[in-house]
Structure 1
Amino acid sequence: MRTLAHSRTLYSARGFTMVELILVMVIFGILSAIAMSRFTARVEFDGRGFFDQTLSMVRYAQKLAIAQRRTVWVQASQTGRIICLTYVQVNVDCQNDGGAPVPTPGEQTWFVKTAPTDISFGSSPVFAFNPLGQPSPNAAVNLTLYQGGSTSIGNIKIEAETGYVH
């Protein structure tokens, strides 16, 4: 005959039931299927990230020109998929810094960025911000980034009179 104490130890054994285990596996499978699709389609994510970096670089160049009261050149290469900042005009492919590189904020390295694979510039603009923060030559500048050569990621516009970057 079983006693009350004996049946308590029988039922107080700890563990998970088969239903609980299967439910957890199903939920984990659904969540991983959703999360994996986010990590495998990184082209759009990388493209948007590079667009934001480029926008920040151009804004930084304009602010730096005003703060240091000197000309800052922005050069983007359509073929090399590179953008760089210098204090003097260099070749359009940003292959060298011309002896006057703009350092990356917080570092002492040349401020140059390469686009991810499948991301390119629509043109190869070379322009400068003068000490007043205006683009030189004094004309509006448009810098468009493309994914796969045809899908526009975004357009960076620099106003002619004010140098406002948006």
Structure 2
Amino acid sequence: MLIGILGAFAGQRFFSRTNFDASGYANQLATLVRYGQKLAIAQNRSVFVRLNGSSVALCYDAACAARVAAPAGGNSGSAATTQRCRNPATNIYDAAWACEGLPDGVAMTNAGTFYFDAVGTPFNVADAQPTLVSTFPAALAVDITGNGVTLRTTIEGSTGYVH
């Protein structure tokens, strides 16, 4: 009887795809942000990270008119990515863009846009380029939530360290 009760209540949570989607997306988010920082350093230019609540994307400008190519030549191509990673100017899906869409049933908090400068320091999108003064917070916490599970990715303000 105990197994039946546990199966009825805990089974739904344990076998929910949303839990796995949230975990996978939190990993994709951290990986893309780290890649953006490394790319900014390697190319000696600013790389913008757009967190708009439905996707995470890398661009060379705040408006995402110049999009960063995905490191493997293409993004995941998942249903969420094809729906949420569209060229802002044409509304056409861009498979080569370093962008990943938020899966259905998963939510993102603290959405916004920031950029890494050529030495990998994060700046708020409103900070003029080039500048030495960053108004980026001491730490930006981005929470990915799905089916009651919350996973946090933090970007440190002084170093850009992502964890």
What's the TM-score bracket when you normalise by the shorter of the two chains?
Answer: 0.5 to 0.7
d(CA) in 1 for partners of 2:150, 2:42: 30
CA distance in structure 1 between the aligned counterparts of 2:14 and 2:145, rounded to whole angstroms? 21
**Could you say which residue in structure 1 is the equivalent of 2:162?**
165
Aligned-partner residue type, residue 155 of structure 1 = R
Contact kept, 8 Å, 1:125 with 1:143, in 2: the verdict is no
Distance 2:13 2:152 in 1: 25
1: CA distance, partners of 2:15 / 2:153:
28
Q: Which residue of 2 aligns with 1:19?
A: none
Match of 2:32 in 1: 57
In our comparison, the structure showing a higher alpha carbon Rg is 1
What percent identity do the matched residue pairs reach?
Answer: 33
Matched, 1:156 2:153: yes
Deviations 1:12-54 (A, max 9, x none): xxxxxxxxxxxxxxxxxxxxxxxxx899521111110111011
- TM-score norm. by structure 2 comes to 0.67
Q: Which residue of 1 aligns with 2:80?
A: none
Q: Which has the higher contact order (CA 8 A, sep 6+)?
A: 2
Shift of 1:164: 0.8
For 2:37 and 2:62, the matched residues in 1 are separated by 15
Q: How many residues align?
A: 120
Q: Name the residue aligned to 2:114.
A: 127
| CA RMSD across the alignment | 2.2
> Higher helix proportion, which one?
1
Per-residue CA deviation, residues 78-128 of structure 1 (Å, 9 max, x unaligned), is 2xx1111100001xxxxxx41x11000121611111111111211222100
Structure 2: stretches of 5+ with no match in the other structure: 1-11, 75-95, 125-133
What's the TM-score, normalizing by structure 1?
A: 0.65
1:41 aligns with 2:16: yes
Give the deviation of 1:153 after TM superposition: 2.4
1:142 and 2:135 equivalent? no
Q: 2:60 aligns with which of 84, 87, 93?
A: 87
